[in-house]
Chain A
Amino acid sequence: MNRREFLKISAALGAAGAMPTLLGGCAARPLPGSGVVTGSPTVCNLCFWQCAGTLYQEDGRPWKVVGHPDDPHCEGRLCTRGSAGIGAYVDPDRLRQPLLRVDEGGGQRFRPVSWDEAFDFIARRMKAIGEQHGSDRMALFSHGDGGEHLRRMLQAFGSDAYAHPSFAQCRGPRETAFGLTFGEGVGSPDRTDMAHSRCIVLIGSHIGENLHNSQVQTLAKALDSGATLITVDPRFSVAASKSAHWLAIKPGTDMALLLAWMNVLINEDLYDREYVARHCTGFGQLARHVQAFNPEWAYLETGLEPSSIRETARAMARAAPATLVHPGRHVTWYGDDTQRCRAIAILNALLGSWGRPGGFYNQEKVDLPEYPAPKPPKPASDWKAVVQAEYPLVSTGISNKLVEHSVGKDAFFKGWFVYATNLPMTLPGGVEQIEAAAQSLELMVVVDTMPAEITGYADVVLPECTYLERYDDLRNKPERTPTLALRMPAFEPAHETRPAWWIAKGIAERLGLGEYFPWQDYQEVLDWQLKQVGSSLAEMQTLGVKRFPRKGAVYLDADNPLRFKTPSGKIELYSSLLADIGQDPLPRYTPPDRPPEGYYHLNYGRAPAHTFGRTINNPQLFELMPENAVWVHPAAAAGLGVGNGDYVRLQNPEGTRSNRVRVRVTQRIRPDSVFMVHGFGHTDQRQRLARGVGADDAGLMHNVKLDPVMGGTGMRASFVTLVKAGEVS
């Protein structure tokens, strides 16, 4: 309803005459919003999309978080998790005060300590590591905004090693593959122009179940305007249920389909000849390469009818260049993931969609200067050459490699900071190695808002306040419109919690590195930065979000010859860089492992109510989705003798068993596969809602396939069977 409609009806109601007061004589419950309402800007931190919003309080009590209408990340609408942001603030199980591991009475326990004691301990250990092993031996694992502050502190100390699990456990293959092909990655938020797409192809990407806000919004816009949706997924995902074409592919065979699509586009002359001639290199090699991979060949691998492969290729070509073959986000599946993402990149190039409306657009962010501070020293060694030399194309940390190089007496890394990432549930089948690393490391500091499995391994746990209680860096992400957004505290930090900037500065000062944090309060940094771009902290505290003018074109400029940031300056269908390092320069199909008798493909994914394991204990989201279930096809369920709602345990071929989990019998899954939502099965007892509820998929992954190009962990090659919960000793 728009305001005009409202005004009209108000007049009509007025004309209808005075209605008697319906709410009798005694005081009715006050209507929401009838008290004193105040709002303050925030940037959501329930996931990593970083939507800007407003936190409202009524009569001094938290009321609701609502999306900011000017924010391109959310267009005024927060998602399920964002709407539940207050749940993170009020969670009674939050970390409350710094904890220090102490030996006591023959065992170990965490003792609550002051920040001073925690900082002194950390500084002492770091100095000892520096003296004995070198100041370059600390590593940072981070999956959150505050990690940047810790990174600066560690860089000042002399350690530059860091890893975001969002690379090697998630988006790394596509960033690498698109970088190799177009000279630039997809980035986050993704530079997909779905709002203008006429055809969208999703390959195992279940947008809608992963509620990346503007992705979901633009997909819905495309559907509303009649775009053709093609979904490739062994599971009848939510996206599949919205699709004109659902290709129910055999698990692990996506590459065969992608090659067959290329075959059809090229052999039926459906590709964008002019675009390819103008911008691409290696077309001849590609055309020869895909000759063997016709739809009839692909049928044997994928189980998809050749006619539907041809039909969908033609639909893609008809809508091109406004056809988006979506690059996906979590794409570490089978170990050949960079190659599969290359195939997706190549398809987009053949359709001419890179840099075109409805395909991929050019993003810009605000040119925001860094606050003046001394430059950190050059580290004593090149950590990448030590820990991930076999992946020369990778410019960021590969988390699993960093863990590997933290195990044993001679390991390179001697200390970790872990910020907002629960590594045991993040690294597939990684618990043993993390435990071994914890035994070897001389210092492990975990900084987080909530207790989790990783905090159990820490020497020191530092409680950060939630996003509603802190300032962070300005949000300045690449977007269609360069935009800044401010996260500011709506509440004083609860308990003894503190923001990451304060923690990083405090540790730096104990290390004698205070000069790298030449300010008292982070507001000084934000205000200075904002003043360099014509705003101020005061202005942003009012606005919350500010848009800035673009400098360059949104799409490829037809009049200006473009040089892509690849070795050839062209879109590389044939990758010279991959050839240089002895990898396939053109993508090749590798048949997937098949489950042993009695086992099922372990497929996993997301649910809109949760962000991995980090929101399960949020009281509002827990209520919406308190546990996961394992999806089982009716035929498989009958064979196993399990029914809807039964508890089972999942067991992999190595005998690892999950926590108990309910069966959901559904036609939406193939008979050879099971599916579960990731993030459940917490074992940390301090999460009183989430503990022991549902099952964890990561711990069951026994067949992790490393990507030879970028070192990521392929997570979809593992198998499980179901054991009735009652039958487990």
Chain B
Amino acid sequence: MTTYAMVIDTRTCIGCGDCVVACKNENKVPAGLNRDWVVEATRGEYPNLETEFRSERCNHCGHATCVTNCPTGASHYWKDTNIVLVAAEKCTGCKACIAACPYDARLIMHPEGYVDKCTFCHHRVDRGLDPACVSTCPTRCMHFGILDDRDSIVSRLLRERRYKTLMPETGNDPHVYYLL
């Protein structure tokens, strides 16, 4: 089992949306749909404010409820990793995975008739490349690597910095981390 993780530094994320555009082009995502998106969260009152930008997507959970809830086996783990994929030819469009995903990370429906989502660009990972969003980010706030490898950039960052994941209480074991 290999666990891939994405680590995003909220201190340098500017919410520019380049990750969104790069993903759309790389993965030929149809108009109107997105596999990733940017959230802006502002707390406080003028002038005592904090604003956090987060690039969000599928968390490629260790315990992916979308996989366990898929009746046809279309939602599955790629090879022996935590990368969750949807096999288009097995997907009936029943949307059980959409209901099961706590992160609302699945596209409603690809026009070709299946539920689509972030793949961590496994086709790039397979060739030793970072996902498209990570490789285009102009502030280099996004990092990708193998969590089991102590020397990887993601392991190092999670050792050295404070971080959070989104809704860890679901028990889904998400693997997109946000440095604080």
A: which residues have CB within 8 A of B?
A: 1-3, 5-10, 12-13, 16, 19, 22-29, 31-34, 63-67, 74, 76-80, 83-84, 86, 208-209, 211, 213, 216-217, 219-221, 223-224, 236, 238, 241-242, 246, 248, 608-609, 619-621, 623-625, 633, 666-671
Contact A80 B16 (CB under 8 A): yes
| B104, chain A: closest CB distance, angstroms | 18
Find out whether the CB atom of B123 lies under 8 angstroms from the CB atom of A31: yes
Is B79 a contact of A13 with CB atoms below 8 Å?
yes
User: Are A620 and B16 interface neighbours, CB within 8 A?
Assistant: no
Residues on B lying within 8 angstroms of A by beta carbon are: 2, 9, 11-12, 14-18, 20-22, 24-28, 31-32, 42, 44-47, 49-53, 76, 78-80, 85, 87-90, 112, 123-125, 127-130, 132, 135-141, 144-146, 149, 152-153
Q: A32 and B123: CB pair below 8 A?
A: yes
CB contacts (< 8 Å) of B22 on chain A: these are 64, 83
- Shortest CB-to-CB span from B113 to chain A, Å, is 11
| A609→B46 CA distance, assembly (Å) | 26
Indicate whether A1 sits within 8 Å of B153 (C-beta atoms), given known contacts A208-B16, A220-B12: yes
List 13 A-B residue pairs with CB atoms under 8 Å apart, sorted by A's residue number: A1-B152, A23-B87, A28-B89, A29-B88, A32-B27, A64-B22, A77-B138, A79-B16, A208-B139, A216-B14, A238-B51, A625-B17, A671-B46
Minimum CB–CB distance from B122 to chain A (whole Å) comes to: 8
Name B46's contact: one of A77, A224, A242, A669 (CB within 8 Å).
Answer: A669
The 5 closest A-B pairs by CB, nearest first: A6-B128, A220-B139, A608-B16, A208-B14, A241-B51
Which residues from A are CB-within-8-Å of B26?
32, 64
Contacts of B153 in A (CB 8 A): 1-2
**Chain A residues with CB below 8 A from B141, complex form:** 220
> With A65-B25, A79-B16, A80-B18 given, can you name 19 additional A-B contacts, CB distance below 8 Å?
A2-B153, A6-B125, A6-B128, A16-B80, A28-B88, A31-B123, A63-B25, A64-B132, A77-B18, A79-B18, A211-B138, A217-B139, A220-B141, A241-B49, A608-B15, A623-B31, A625-B17, A666-B42, A667-B42
Give the Cβ gap from B118 to chain A, nearest Cβ, in Å: 13
Q: Contact partner of B21 among A28, A624, A667, CB < 8 A?
A: A624
What chain A residues lie within 8 Å of B24 (beta carbons)? Answer: 620
Q: Cα distance A312–B26 when bound, in Å?
A: 44
Instruction: Determine which of A19, A28, A671 lies in contact with B80 in the assembled complex, contact meaning CB atoms within 8 Å.
Output: A19
B79 CB contacts on chain A under 8 angstroms:
13, 16, 19, 22
Residue of chain A at shortest CB distance from B119: A31
Enumerate chain A residues within 8 angstroms of B90, measured Cβ to Cβ. Answer: 24
Contact A670 B46 (CB under 8 A): yes
- Do A220 and B51 touch across chains, with their CB atoms under 8 A apart? no
B12-A224 in contact (CB<8A): yes
- Chain B contacts of A16 at CB under 8 A? 79-80
Question: Hey, which chain A residues are within 8 Å of B42, CB to CB?
Answer: 236, 666-668
Contact B46 A608 (CB under 8 A): no
CB distance from A277 to the nearest CB of B (A): 39
Bound-state CA distance A3–B135 (Å) is: 13
Residue of A nearest to B152 (CB): A5
In whole angstroms, what is the CA distance A23 to B17 when docked?
Answer: 31
Q: Could you tell me if A220 and B123 are in contact, using CB atoms closer than 8 angstroms?
A: no
Once bound together, how far apart are the Cα atoms of A619 and B30, in whole Å?
Answer: 12
For B24, the closest partner residue in chain A by CB is A620
Q: Are B140 and A83 in contact, with the CB atoms below 8 A? A: no
Query: With the chains together, A700 CA to B156 CA distance in Å?
Result: 51
Tell whether, in the assembled complex, residue B138 and residue A34 are in contact, meaning their CB atoms are under 8 Å apart: no
Q: Are A1 and B130 interface neighbours, CB within 8 A?
A: yes
Chain B residues whose CB sits within 8 angstroms of the CB of A78 once the complex forms: 18, 136, 138
Tell me the minimal C-beta distance from A24 to chain B in angstroms: 5
In angstroms, Cα B130 to Cα A512, docked, is 55
**Contact present for B16 and A77 (CB under 8 Å):** no
CB contacts (< 8 Å) of A217 on chain B: these are 138-140
In the complex, chain B residues whose CB is within 8 Å of the CB of A34:
123
Q: Which of B14, B44, B135 contacts A77 (CB 8 A)?
A: B135
Are A23 and B21 interface neighbours, CB within 8 A? no
The verdict on A13 contacting B80 (CB below 8 Å), with A1-B125, A79-B18, A80-B21 known, is yes
Answer whether A22 and B18 are a contact pair too, CB < 8 Å, given A217-B140, A623-B31: no
Q: Is the CB of A26 within 8 A of B123?
A: no
Q: Are B128 and A7 in contact (CB under 8 A)?
A: yes
B125 contacts across to A, CB distance below 8 A: 1, 6
Q: With a CB–CB cut-off of 8 A, which chain B residues contact A6?
A: 125, 127-129
Option from A27, A33, A84, A86 in Cβ contact (under 8 Å) with B123: A33
Point out the residues of chain B lying under 8 angstroms from A7, CB to CB. Answer: 128
Q: Return B47 CB to nearest CB of chain A, in Å.
A: 4
B81 smallest CB distance to A (angstroms): 8
Give the residue of B11, B31, B87 whose beta carbon is less than 8 angstroms from that of A22. Answer: B87
Chain B residues with Cβ below 8 Å from A620 are 21, 24-25
Chain B contacts for A238, CB-based, 8 A: 14-15, 51, 53
List A contacts of B89 (CB < 8 A).
23-28
With a cutoff of 8 Å between Cβ atoms, the chain B residues found around residue A2 in the complex are 153
Pair B45/A609 contact, Cβ less than 8 Å: no
> Do residues B144 and A236 form an inter-chain contact, with CB atoms below 8 A?
no
Q: How far is the CA of A609 from the CA of B11 in the complex (A)?
A: 20
Please give me the residue from chain B that is nearest to A608 by CB atom. B16
> Could you tell me the distance between the alpha carbons of A34 and B46 in the complex, rounded to whole angstroms?
51
Contact check, A608 vs B49: say whether CB atoms are below 8 A apart: no
Residues of A near B45 (CB, < 8 A) are 667
Q: Write out the residue numbers on chain A whose beta carbons fall within 8 Å of the beta carbon of B112.
A: 29
Which chain B positions have C-beta within 8 A of A76? 135
Which one of A22, A32, A211, A666 contacts B16 once the chains associate, using CB atoms below 8 Å? A211
Q: Report B-chain residues with C-beta under 8 Å of the C-beta of A23.
A: 87, 89
Complex contact B25–A236 (CB within 8 A): no
Contact call A633/B18, Cβ cutoff below 8 A: no
Q: How many Å lie between the Cα of A618 and that of B27 in the bound state?
A: 19
**Partner pick for B136 among A66, A216, A609, CB 8 A cutoff:** A66
Interface centre among A74, A77, A620 (most CB of B within 10 A): A77
Interchain nearest-CB distance for B142 vs A (Å): 11
Knowing A1-B125, A13-B80 are in contact, say whether A220-B140 is a contact too (CB < 8 A): yes
User: Once the chains are docked, how many angstroms separate the CA of A623 from the CA of B23?
Assistant: 14
Tell me which residues across on chain B come within 8 A of A65, comparing CB atoms.
Answer: 25
- Residue pair A5, B145 in contact (C-beta under 8 Å): yes
CA gap between A62 and B26 in the complex, in Å: 11
CB distance from B83 to the nearest CB of A (A): 11
Q: Cβ of B20: which chain A residues have Cβ within 8 Å of it? A: 80, 624
From B139, which residue of chain A is reached at the shortest CB distance?
Answer: A220
Alpha-carbon gap, A666 to B27, bound state (A)? 34
Chain B neighbourhood of A236, CB < 8 A: 42, 46-47, 49, 51
Q: Are A1 and B144 also in contact (CB < 8 A) when A620-B21, A667-B44, A667-B49 are?
A: yes
Inter-chain CA distance A66–B28, complex, in Å, is: 14
Contacts A1-B145, A213-B138, A619-B31: A80 and B25 contacting too (C-beta < 8 A)? no
In the assembled complex, the CB of B36 is this many whole angstroms from the nearest CB of chain A, namely: 11
A219 to B130 CA separation, bound complex (whole angstroms): 23
- Nearest A residue to B44 via CB reads A667
Contacts of B132 in A (CB 8 A): 64
A603 to chain B, nearest CB (A): 14
Give chain B residues whose Cβ lies under 8 Å from the Cβ of A19.
79-80
- Rounded to whole angstroms, the CA-CA distance of A633 and B146 in the bound complex is 44
Beyond A3-B128, A32-B27, A83-B25, is A223–B12 a contact (Cβ under 8 Å)?
yes
Given the complex of chains A and B, what is the CA–CA distance between A104 and B24 in angstroms? Answer: 45
Q: Are A608 and B17 in contact (CB under 8 A)?
A: yes
Residue of B nearest to A62 (CB): B25
Q: Would you call B28 and A220 a contact (CB within 8 A)?
A: no
Q: Would A5 and B12 count as touching, CB distance under 8 A? A: no
CA distance A78 to B47 in the complex (A): 33
Instruction: Tell me the minimal C-beta distance from A31 to chain B in angstroms.
Output: 4
Residues of A within 8 A of B140 (CB): 77, 217, 220-221, 224
- Please measure, in the bound complex, the distance between the C-alpha atom of A98 and the C-alpha atom of B79, giving whole angstroms: 55
The answer to whether A77 and B136 have CB atoms under 8 Å apart is: yes
Q: Tell me whether A623 and B32 are in contact in the complex, defined as CB-CB below 8 angstroms, given that A24-B87, A29-B88, A77-B138 are known contacts.
A: yes
A80 touches B17 (CB 8 A): yes
Residue of B nearest to A625 (CB): B17
